[in-house]
Structure 1
């Protein structure tokens, strides 16, 4: 019996709602000008085709690792919520935010109101907060969501977890490991020290690496770089694969790989642990539509 997890990221849905002049103060003005110049490189028809292809694969769960939005405008959040609903029922989709979802401080109050159904478990006790890290158990998986999304100065796209999230991550990794679950850590920014250019990476990546080295995980997935990447981190029982996925709406001319998503199949071993196989699906140069891009070596 196996379990299939789909992973996509960085939808950057458009068109961008018309901003009011007061919305374009500070960092948003540079972001708006960049969107005017490069927004065409994220194609909503391609995104719709990719989501249709993903759903045709009938994954058991979908992980979305952020950057649904572009400038964190108030009018973008309803579109983000509606788009997340297209991926499947809320119990079948888990979300963590990216830097574009938390673009400026005024974006932050909208996060909980918009994304709580994909973070907070339905039917849990009243008052359960919209907080990170969270753990959602699905089949043999323990999906652990982290938020690296913080507002930053213009021209920066870095992220951070902070000590409280890292301590919570360590606790959840130990709890899920003791239950024999396959621990999948979801984060937007590449969480390894060499994962991104200066000004774009996770500020406390070294501390994250130390948590994984001590407590372990079966898989870490992220977005942000708009590229497929695999960078194993040391774990207590061997390397832990850290896998980045391209933007799910990118077309030729974008700074990363073409639109794609990843599929991970988890098969429990008779003696304990899990075998994980991965494949890529998306656009390919010279080919129309979404198709097979081959296996992904972990």
Structure 2
């Protein structure tokens, strides 16, 4: 059995000192939002509790589906690198970037230089760049494929993008992994399904992504961005359907408008054509409680949309 852990939307804080020059951009909006809202509910103590509990479950690998930082300040990017070093070795942790990681023009290149070892495919030299996505890593019987939907956007927008060039490479990787009899897990920040988030946060290229999955096949899709422990499906009833799994923000303290911090554990066993994939959600259920198991589900036989 292969045990894969999944967290997302870390939003490490507190913010480092910010200069007026750095705020002369979209960051001004994000800074105000942080001061008014996010800093009250996104806490390092919560993240530490989640990671500590996660590590106690002894997963074989950890998938981090984006938004490690808030405004993509240089200090935040370096802090996130130190955090990744604490969480696990690059060969044991796979990261895909989120919209906050590419918050302003130029930020994406900086995170690639800083976090490259955690975003590089097998045999790929770090640092990577946006042309290095998707990347492919094989761990045991599992193929981990990291897709980037991150791109700098205008103020008040948090959209993601999945373009044709990346779609072509993803299809080739899925075909190759399928021929090798691997369980294919695709990681992306923005949910590749409709109605999962508001219009100003949605992924452009949902139809393209779903078409690639339908044509080339996959066993599981993991995402973040929505801050919701959700479950959707790609594919029509009566045919092979691919589960699309979201997770609550890893730094979310209880008491906010979103569910408190959680992580997913995905246990994968079986073989090509007969994979058994089981999902369990673990997280905070009260202000003073340690993380605990919230629910468990057999994804091989479940076919209903599950929200909060």
Match of 1:252 among 251, 254, 257: 254
Q: 1:227 to 1:126 in 2, by over 3 A?
A: closer
The equivalent residue for 1:219 is: 220
Distance 1:32 1:166 in 2: 34
Asked whether 1:117 is paired with 2:117, we answer yes
Unpaired runs of 5+ in structure 2? 300-308
- The list of structure 1 runs, each at least 4 consecutive aligned residues, that deviate by more than 6 angstroms after superposition, is none
> Is the Cα contact below 8 Å between 2:133 and 2:148 reproduced in 1?
yes
> Is the Cα contact below 8 Å between 2:116 and 2:127 reproduced in 1?
no
Q: Residues 1-298 of structure 1 correspond to what in structure 2 (within 5 A)? A: 2-38=1-37, 39-121=39-121, 124=123, 129-130=128-129, 131-234=132-235, 238-269=240-271, 272-285=273-286, 288-298=289-299
Tell me by how many angstroms 1:254 deviates: 2.8
Distance 2:20 2:125 in 1: 39
Tell me by how many angstroms 1:59 deviates: 0.2
> Is the Cα contact below 8 Å between 1:182 and 1:273 reproduced in 2?
no
- Aligned residue for 1:71, secondary structure, equals coil
- Aligned residue for 1:75, secondary structure, equals helix
Q: 1:234 to 1:129 in 2, by over 3 A?
A: same
The C-alpha deviation readout for 1:105-124, integer Å capped at 9, x for no partner, is 031221211111101247x3
Distance 2:64 2:127 in 1: 21
Q: 1:275 to 1:204 in 2, by over 3 A?
A: same
> Is the Cα contact below 8 Å between 2:4 and 2:62 reproduced in 1?
yes
Distance 2:192 2:273 in 1: 27
Q: 1:245 to 1:5 in 2, by over 3 A?
A: same
- Aligned residue for 2:204, secondary structure, equals coil
> Is the Cα contact below 8 Å between 1:96 and 1:146 reproduced in 2?
yes
- Aligned residue for 1:292, secondary structure, equals strand
The C-alpha deviation readout for 1:165-196, integer Å capped at 9, x for no partner, is 11111110111001100000000000112322
Distance 2:273 2:195 in 1: 32
Q: 1:268 to 1:99 in 2, by over 3 A?
A: same
User: How large is the Cα RMSD of the aligned pairs?
Assistant: 1.8
Unpaired runs of 5+ in structure 1? none
> Is the Cα contact below 8 Å between 1:5 and 1:265 reproduced in 2?
yes
Q: Given the two structures, how large is their TM-score scaled by the length of structure 1?
A: 0.94
The C-alpha deviation readout for 1:196-227, integer Å capped at 9, x for no partner, is 21110101111111111111100000000101
Tell me by how many angstroms 1:26 deviates: 2.1
Q: How many residues align?
A: 295
- Aligned residue for 1:188, secondary structure, equals coil
